[in-house]
Structures are given as C-alpha cells and as structure tokens.
Amino acid sequence: MASRKLKFVTGNANKLREVRAILAQSGGTTREVATAKCRRAAELLGGPCITEDTALCFEALNGLPGPYIKYFLKELGHDGLNKLLVGFPTTAAWALCTFAYSAGPGSEPILFEGRTDGHVVTARGDGKFGWDPIFEPNGTGQTYAEMTPEKKNSLSHRYRALSKLQEYLSTLKE
C-alpha cells in the first residue's frame, strides 16, 4: 500500500491528529453516515478515500445521542449531556467509531467499527475535544480528556476501528 495515496476526509483537526497518532504507533447510524460520507467523498475526489463518523451512545436513551452527539453537545454542553441522564438507573454509554473505505467512485464502501464501553460522568480534564471530558472508559478511572494522548490512542473507539482498517488495507495488492 506504500505507493498508493489514500485521503482521509474530515473537517475536524482533532480527529486528524488522533488518526495520525494511532496509525503512527502501529505502522440515521454511524454506519449509514460513514457510508454516505465515503461514497460522496470518493465521487468528489475521483479516487480512493476513507471517512470517519463517531457516536456517543447512552444506554438509558437506547443509543441516543449516537451520531447526533455533535449537535447535542453544541446545544447542551457537557453539563446538559449529564442532565439528560438524571433519573435514569444507568450512566452506561459506549463510544463508537466507524471508518469507511472506498476504492473509488462507484465502489461500495467497506466499514470498520470500533467500540469502547464506559460511563457518562461529570466533566473532568481538558475540554478541547468534544465530549472527551464526560466519557470514562470502563476500568480506567479517567475520562478521555484526562488521559495522555498515548493512553487514549491505545484503547479508544477510534483506535479499535483504525486497527481493523489498517489490517484490511495491509491485505490490498499494490
């Protein structure tokens, strides 16, 4: 795959930084959104590309806000997202990342998903990247925002999805 150029399409500089760091270390739904984005990007670019979509899903709300987390966060903030769960018996949540790969225009995108289970907590840590301050992966005792980039990138939903994508891309013939 070394001689091929592949474009990662995102408008989020933080996602791009995480994707680069993860790749450097290891050499309606998010599926629908990722597929549609990837199809359109391949058409616009006229060649192979990858796109990504991320969701934060609350168990108590049957998976909402899911792929709409960006809009919920913008309107409610971290505190408002916590308030959505007041009165529910659980704060369990999962972070879901879906990468889509297209070989080019007209090619059906292939999806690669990664999931990290955790809980929604009161905001802690650096608030520079989305909902990171309110998501604490199970067994870590830290929110994504409190973790070093290396720690987050070794266990995150994005890392898990990228690992699957990397494995697939390594099987492609030159």
The answer on whether 132 is annotated among ligand-binding residues is yes
Q: Would the annotation count 11 as a binding residue?
A: yes
Q: Does 119 count as an annotated binding residue?
A: no
78 belongs to an annotated ligand binding site:
no
130 labelled binding-site residue: yes
Q: 114 among the known binding-site residues?
A: no
Structural Rg of the chain based on CA atoms: 16
14 is in an annotated binding site: yes
Ligand-binding annotation for 20, yes or no, is: no
Q: 99 labelled as ligand-binding?
A: no
The rounded distance, in Å, linking the Cα atoms of 55 and 166 is: 21
Helix axes 13-25, 157-170, angle to 10 degrees: 60
Distance between CA atoms of 123 and 32, rounded to whole angstroms? Answer: 29
Q: 74 labelled as ligand-binding?
A: no
Check the annotation: does 12 bind a ligand: yes
* Short-list 108, 63, 60, 107, CA closest to 88: 60
Q: Say if residue 53 carries a ligand binding annotation.
A: yes
What is the rounded distance in angstroms from the CA atom of residue 130 to the CA atom of residue 6?
A: 26
Unique residue bearing structure tokens 């070989």: 103
Q: Which residues are annotated as a binding site for ITP?
A: 10-15, 37, 53-54, 129-132, 152, 157-158
Task: Specify binding-site residues.
Answer: 10-15, 37, 53-54, 129-132, 152, 157-158
**Residues at the annotated binding site for Mg(2+)?**
53
